[in-house]
């Protein structure tokens, strides 16, 4: 992340420490998120990367006067180890060795600062440690040290057409306002920019790859909303019932809620809001963001839009896979990613990637969230594995797909084929599963792991995450993972299905399709059942499959899937690609 600053990386922790005395603190917690607590942040808000050099999308750092540590999860432990200066930083797995334990060991009796604009209530609670005092700072010492910090984004804000949204903002606001009235709540704070985008039917480009506009909102029990953004950013008027305020009027409008009951989501709202509302005597109700669940349940228009997005995306993927088979050897990982981007850009509807493409050759595939850097990236060689995880934004949908390829001509090693096939079996089993209504995703997670477990293998990331509709490629509250999140899967939700296996120093395997939850024809005396509709139309590399490990049911599923892919592609692709499609989709 040195490209964001001319200040030498090794000097940055010391520059941050220079501001401790002014703030009366002995250390500072530096979060990954920005003031909207999103997963992806603008260059202005890359504080964690700036101070430490670690560029993963999840984690935090703690800087004390004499010691410092970076934390992240299993997706990034290897990357963290490589990017962070070991002489300056400890490195910890955030789940196995959490920040509160590190603070208890190294910050006994100290005052540790945090920025209340960048910290959720949930995060703050998780950092509590015995004999450590957590102190909200009035200014961020990283911002003070980062003297060449990029400017905050202020891109145009545009309406999201009804033809894509499928429901007017006034109708969404009316539904949610009724819930506020039922719970005797006057207003709800909206700090999640994806919720704001969904509720008000607006989109922007304040951060790369996620079409959101930075801003805050308040939804009231009468259905009207207040939006806090600069008026100059608006490119078209919004619907009635949306009142615009300048961002510097936010505190004033919160003050008007004195004595009122105000709903705040403690996971997605900066703790500054609670501090401000507490001071004016508001009654705070901690509860989930009312936008979160209806945003995740795609309406019929959004469902059709996402099908259309996958239909378009499949053409780009097919052209890329055909191209890489004939031209990929000798190309750098970044060249491969750029080529895939170029194939997607052939569509007039393409709006850009939904996340930074993971283009990983050979051993680089063992890093689940690897990033290829020009000049430092690997060349794709023969008789190795190539993993490509990518996605696209279209105005009517968002895609995410991973394929793992064998770059021949030799036969893949038996060990590799077994691992790949066990990952495939997990993908098929999950895709095929029917399940009762009101089933949370964590109850399905082991289906994707069972075959790997039987061979003593596993993967250290979730199996599936929610997908937005021309919004964030990672969307809650639904997920499929071993972590017991309480949200039930419901018809209309879209999730990824991406089991994997990673052998350090050798290769990575991941197979990812997106799936729509829908009602099943299966009936039960105990209630309705649900199932998945696979949205992705892209061949799975048959070269890597050990057919002896597939059951007859699994083999039939894969053949049926490839039959659908073939029929879809042959009616849309140029004729000179038809032989490749027929070969890639040939039955086992």
Closest listed residue to residue 268, CA positions, set 254, 287, 284: 287
Share of the chain above pLDDT 90, in %: 90
Strands 393-394 and 384-390: unpaired
List domains and CATH numbers for the chain: 2-145 (3.40.350.10), 158-293 (3.40.350.10), 297-584 (3.90.230.10)
Work out the angle at residue 151's Cα, subtended by the Cα atoms of residues 148 and 155, and round it to the nearest 5 degrees.
160
Integer CA distances (angstroms), 537 to 159, 560, 571, in order? 30, 12, 13
Q: Is the pLDDT of residue 526 over 90?
A: no
Closest listed residue to residue 421, CA positions, set 451, 462, 450: 451
* pLDDT of res. 135: 97
Whole-angstrom Cα distance, residue 263 to residue 225? Answer: 14
Mean pLDDT of the chain: 95
* pLDDT of res. 77: 82
- Residues 481-487, mean pLDDT to the nearest whole number: 91
pLDDT tens profile 220-237: 999 999 999 999 999 888
* pLDDT of res. 44: 94
pLDDT tens profile 417-467: 999 999 999 999 999 999 999 899 999 999 999 999 999 999 999 999 999
- Residues 125-133, mean pLDDT to the nearest whole number: 95
User: At how many degrees (to 10) do helices 169-182 and 193-200 cross?
Assistant: 110
Work out the angle at residue 78's Cα, subtended by the Cα atoms of residues 74 and 80, and round it to the nearest 5 degrees.
90
pLDDT tens profile 271-300: 999 999 999 999 999 999 999 999 999 999
* pLDDT of res. 3: 57
Whole-angstrom Cα distance, residue 363 to residue 166? Answer: 44
Whole-angstrom Cα distance, residue 260 to residue 251? Answer: 15
Q: What's the count of helices (H) and strands (E) in the chain, helices before strands?
A: 19, 27
Q: Map 374-386 to HEC letters.
A: CCCCCECCCCEEE
* pLDDT of res. 1: 46
Neighbours of 587 (CB within 10 A): 12
Higher pLDDT, 161 or 96: 161
């Amino acid at each position: 992340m040195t490209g964001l600053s001319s200040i030498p990386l090794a000097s940055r922790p010391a520059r941050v420490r220079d501001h401790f005395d002014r703030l009366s603190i002995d250390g500072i917690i530096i979060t990954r998120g920005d003031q909207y607590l999103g997963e992806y942040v603008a260059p202005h808000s890359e504080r964690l990367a700036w101070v430490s050099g670690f560029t993963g999308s999840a984690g935090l750092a703690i800087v004390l006067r004499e010691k410092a540590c970076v934390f992240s999860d299993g997706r990034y432990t290897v990357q963290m180890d490589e990017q962070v200066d070991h002489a300056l930083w400890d490195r910890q797995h955030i789940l196995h060795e959490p920040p509160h334990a590190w603070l208890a060991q190294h910050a006994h009796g100290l005052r540790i600062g945090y920025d209340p604009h960048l910290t959720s209530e949930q995060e703050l609670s998780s950092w509590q440690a015995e004999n450590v005092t957590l102190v909200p700072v009035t200014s961020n010492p990283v911002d003070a040290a980062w003297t060449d910090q990029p400017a905050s984004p202020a891109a145009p804000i545009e309406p999201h057409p009804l033809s894509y949204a499928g429901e007017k903002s006034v109708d969404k606001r009316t539904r949610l306002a009724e819930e506020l009235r039922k719970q005797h709540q006057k207003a709800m704070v909206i700090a999640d920019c994806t919720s704001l985008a969904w509720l008000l039917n607006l989109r922007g480009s304040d951060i790369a790859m996620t079409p959101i506009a930075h801003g805050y909102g308040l939804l009231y029990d009468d259905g009207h909303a207040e939006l806090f953004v600069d008026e100059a950013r608006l490119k078209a008027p919004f619907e009635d019932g949306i009142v615009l305020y300048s961002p510097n009027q936010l505190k004033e409008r919160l003050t008007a809620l004195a004595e009122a009951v105000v709903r705040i989501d403690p996971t997605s709202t900066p703790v500054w809001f609670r501090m401000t509302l507490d001071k004016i005597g508001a009654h705070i109700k901690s509860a989930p963001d009312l936008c979160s669940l209806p945003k995740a349940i795609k309406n019929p228009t959004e469902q059709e839009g996402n099908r259309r997005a996958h239909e378009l995306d499949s053409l780009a993927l097919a052209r890329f896979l055909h191209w890489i088979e004939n031209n990929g050897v000798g190309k750098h990982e970044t060249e491969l990613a750029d080529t895939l981007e170029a194939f997607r850009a052939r569509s007039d509807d393409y709006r850009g990637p939904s996340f930074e493409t993971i283009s990983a050759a050979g051993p680089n595939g063992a890093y689940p969230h690897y990033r290829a850097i020009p000049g430092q990236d690997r060349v794709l060689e023969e008789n190795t594995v190539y993993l490509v995880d990518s996605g696209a934004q279209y105005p009517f949908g968002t895609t995410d797909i991973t394929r793992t390829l064998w770059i021949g001509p030799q036969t893949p090693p038996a060990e590799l084929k077994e691992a790949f096939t066990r990952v495939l079996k997990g993908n098929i089993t999950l895709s095929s599963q029917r399940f009762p209504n009101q089933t949370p995703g964590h109850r399905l997670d082991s289906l994707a792991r069972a075959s790997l477990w039987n061979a003593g293998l596993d993967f250290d990331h979730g199996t599936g995450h929610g997908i937005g509709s021309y919004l964030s490629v990672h969307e809650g509250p639904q997920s499929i993972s071993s972590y017991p999140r309480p949200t039930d899967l419901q018809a209309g939700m879209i999730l990824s299905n991406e089991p994997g296996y990673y052998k350090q120093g050798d290769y990575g395997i991941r197979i990812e399709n997106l799936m729509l939850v829908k009602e099943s024809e299966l009936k039960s005396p105990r209630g309705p059942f649900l199932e998945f509709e696979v949205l992705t139309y892209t061949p799975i590399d048959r070269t890597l499959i050990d057919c002896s490990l597939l059951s007859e049911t699994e083999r039939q599923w894969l053949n049926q899937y490839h039959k659908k892919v073939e029929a879809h592609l042959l009616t849309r692709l140029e004729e000179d690609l038809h032989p490749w499609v027929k070969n890639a989709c040939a039955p086992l």
